[in-house]
Amino acid sequence: MRGTAAQEFLRQSVEKTADLEHRRIIRWNIDNYDTAVNRGKSRFADWQAARDRCQQVKREALARLDDYLLQFEKQVVARGGKVFWASNSEEARNYVTELAVARGVKRIVKSKSMVTEEIHLSPALEKAGIEVWETDLGEYIVQLRNEPPYHIVTPAMHLTRLQIAELFRAKLPDVTADDHQSLVAAARRALRKAFFSSEMGISGANFIVADAGMIAISTNEGNGRLCTSVPRIHVAVTGIEKVVPRLQDLAVLWPVLATAGTGQPITTYSTLIGGPRQPGEADGPEEFHVVLVDNGRSQLLADPEQREVLHCIRCGACLNACPVFRHVGGHSYGTTYQGPIGSVLTPHLRGQDFNHLSFASSLCGACAEVCPVRISLHHHLLENRRNAVRTAGQPWKEGMGFKLWSWAMRSASRYRVLTGLARRAARILYSMGYEGSWIDPAAAWTAYRAAPAIPRQSFRQWWESQDGKR
């Protein structure tokens, strides 16, 4: 019933949870994040009102998604840009790859885009013989390590400065020191050559602005700016749900995204792009293509219960807040989107094989509390569990267990006899050292934790023994 994705998730979770160095690094990163975000939120007069407003804007955008996408498309086309609608990953991948091949592109610079990860774009381009350079520092680091991003906002969160220094010394020509500044400078030198020798730049989009007919891209490093300014062709790949109705909506969404993502008041380069180079402009790409990716999103739109999952602005706040993410780490998920949003979203994008992720949650609700667009993440995790049971059914042991329990519960004497037996059996098993072994029914818990000492008496027996003393 549970496929290999689930087994792999369990295996890696066990391994990562026991890796204390990994947990130390993640804790250090998230502590730095928390400090910055708390400072950032204090710049708002009313953070809760900002969340309400963002939720309203996204709700409004989805309610007329078709109109807004057409409004956007019309203006991009009027400026000489091209909009390609892709039903699935394959269509999106093929469009970009065929375009690159047709234009004789040899090298591509990419700024950070989770949708290009979702559709596995880079491997397709590389297969066509094209060099692909990730230019966001974190993405560049994980690309050099041949790894997927660990976190949707901080792709190299799992690595220390020293590990990155070691990697750079092995892969880059001129790494002299291993302080933060020198490492960033080394990456800058290496990537600058790529920016100025690439024929195509690929970006994502944080927002699709309907009334302005422009995409909005937020980057801090300036790599997104260079990818969309220097090469002769710019391709933006994004999901159809990224729409906002009005340019003015960014007056709240930009600061909210930056605050929830990194704690900044606003991202350094908050950029709007609507087309290729226009008459009278000094520079800019000759061609501008926008690839609008559906890939399961319209299906999620049809689910009134979970439609709001499409509000997500990919800030990463729910990952940082999640106790499960902090322990098992980003790679264990085996998905493009990790943490609570990944657990909710992935079954809709990649099917029922990823339902197990919704069970890996304590339903504490920390994710929903930090979500800047107020997605009820923990409720959606619960709904996914229900959906999983509806389609795949319950594990037989669980079904048997509950049947036995309800049978026992319905008679006081039956309950007394059976719980008494169970208590005695556990005492014997544990005294013989079988705690946490295969024979222990509570092994999932006791394999990693000491079971509480099991008393000789039940509560009922104790209560009766107290009778005379009251």
Partner 1 sequence: MESASQSSREAILARIRAALGTSAGAPSAPVAAPGGIFPPIPNPLERFVAECAANFTELTVTANRVETVEVLARILHELPAGEIYVQDIPELRELITRADGKDVTWSSQGPPAEACQATVTQAEALVAMTGSILVSSLGCGGRGSSVVAPCHIVVARVQQLVPTIEQALALVKERGLPARSSFVGLITGCSRTADIEKLLVIGAHGPRRLAVVLQQ
Binding to partner 1 in span 125-164, by CB under 8 A: 135-138, 141, 154-157, 159-161, 164
Residue 4 makes CB contacts below 8 A (sequence gap 6+) with none
Question: Which range, of 2-10, 65-73, 388-396, 410-418, touches partner 1 by CB under 8 A?
Answer: 65-73
How many C-beta atoms lie closer than 10 Å to residue 47's C-beta? Answer: 16
376 binds partner 1 (CB under 8 A): no
Binding-site member from 9, 89, 95, 356 for partner 1 (CB under 8 A): 95
- Choose, by CB under 8 A, the member of 192, 449, 456, 460 that binds partner 1: 192
What is the nearest approach in angstroms of partner 1 to the Cβ of residue 129?
19
Contact between 367 and 340 under an 8 Å Cβ cutoff? The reply is yes
Min dist. Cβ of residue 17 to partner 1 (A)? 22
| Strands 269-273 vs 214-219: parallel, antiparallel or unpaired | antiparallel
Among 14, 77, 185, 443, binds partner 1 (CB under 8 A): 185
Give the range of 1-9, 248-256, 407-415, 436-444 binding partner 1 by CB under 8 A: 248-256
Under rule CB under 8 A, residue 21 binds partner 1: no
Nearer Cβ to partner 1 (226/426): 226
List binders of partner 1 among 288-317 (CB under 8 A).
288, 292, 294, 298-299, 301-304, 307
Q: Which of 277, 314, 331, 378 binds partner 1 (CB under 8 A)?
A: 277
Residue 378 near residue 368 (C-beta atoms within 8 A): yes
Interface with partner 1 (CB under 8 A), residue total: 108
Whichever of 192 and 403 has its CB closer to partner 1, that residue is 192
Q: How far is the CB of 103 from partner 1 (least distance, A)?
A: 13
Site membership for partner 1, residue 282 (CB under 8 A): yes
Q: What are the start-end ranges of the E strands in 220-268?
A: 233-239, 243-244
Does 261 interact with partner 1 (rule: CB under 8 A)?
no
Which span (277-285, 343-351, 423-431, 444-452) binds partner 1, by CB under 8 A?
Answer: 277-285
Among 356, 364, 365, CA closest to 392: 356
Choices 182-190, 200-208, 325-333, 452-460; region in contact with partner 1 by CB under 8 A? 182-190
Smallest distance, partner 1 to C-beta of residue 100, A: 12
Residue 203 host element (H or E): strand 200-203
Return all residues near 257 (Cβ < 8 A) that are at least 6 apart: 206, 218, 267, 313, 315, 372
Among 117, 221, 287, 435, binds partner 1 (CB under 8 A): 221
- Our CA angle for 244, 250, 256, nearest 5°, is 110
Distance separating alpha carbons of residues 147 and 253, to the nearest angstrom:
31
Residue 370's CB is within 10 A of a number of other CB atoms, namely 20
Q: How far is it, in rounded angstroms, from Cα 162 to Cα 180? A: 9
Token duo for residue 17: 């949870």
Position 181 contacts partner 1 (CB under 8 A): yes
Q: What is the DSSP string of 106-153?
A: -EEEE---HHHHHTTHHHHHHHTT-EEEE-SHHHHHHHHTT---SSSS
User: What minimum distance in Å lies between the beta carbon of 124 and partner 1?
Assistant: 15
Q: Is 97 in the site for partner 1 (CB under 8 A)?
A: no
358 near partner 1, rule: CB under 8 A: no
Buried b (16+ CB within 10 A) or exposed e, 142-169: bbbeeebbbbbbbbbbbbeeeebbebbe
Among 201, 275, 340, 372, binds partner 1 (CB under 8 A): 275
The nearer residue to partner 1, 92 or 328, going by C-beta atoms, is 92
183 binds partner 1 (CB under 8 A): yes
Q: Please say which residue, 191 or 318, places its beta carbon nearer to partner 1.
A: 191
Binding residue for partner 1, selected from 18, 184, 439, 447, defined by CB under 8 A:
184
By the 8 A CB rule, do 254 and 26 touch? no
Strand partners, 292: 85, 238
Taking the least distance from each CB to partner 1, the nearer of 215 and 429 is 215
Return the closest-CA partner of residue 128 out of 108, 149, 148: 108
- Contacting partner 1 within 196-215 (CB under 8 A): 196, 212-214
Q: Does 53 help bind partner 1 (rule: CB under 8 A)?
A: yes
Q: Could you say which of 280, 433, 452, 468 contacts partner 1 (CB under 8 A)? A: 280
Q: Does 342 bind partner 1 (CB under 8 A)?
A: no
Alpha-carbon torsion angle 381, 386, 392, 393, nearest 10: 140
Residue 41 corresponds to which tokens in the numbers above? 């939120």
Listed residue (71, 85, 146, 149) closest to 117, CA to CA: 149
Applying CB under 8 A, which of residues 6, 9, 29, 152 lies at the interface with partner 1? 29
Answer yes or no whether residue 65 interacts with partner 1 by CB under 8 A: yes
Residues composing the chain: 470
Stretch that binds partner 1, among 3-11, 268-276, 395-403, 427-435 (CB under 8 A): 268-276
Check binding of 166 to partner 1 (CB under 8 A).
no
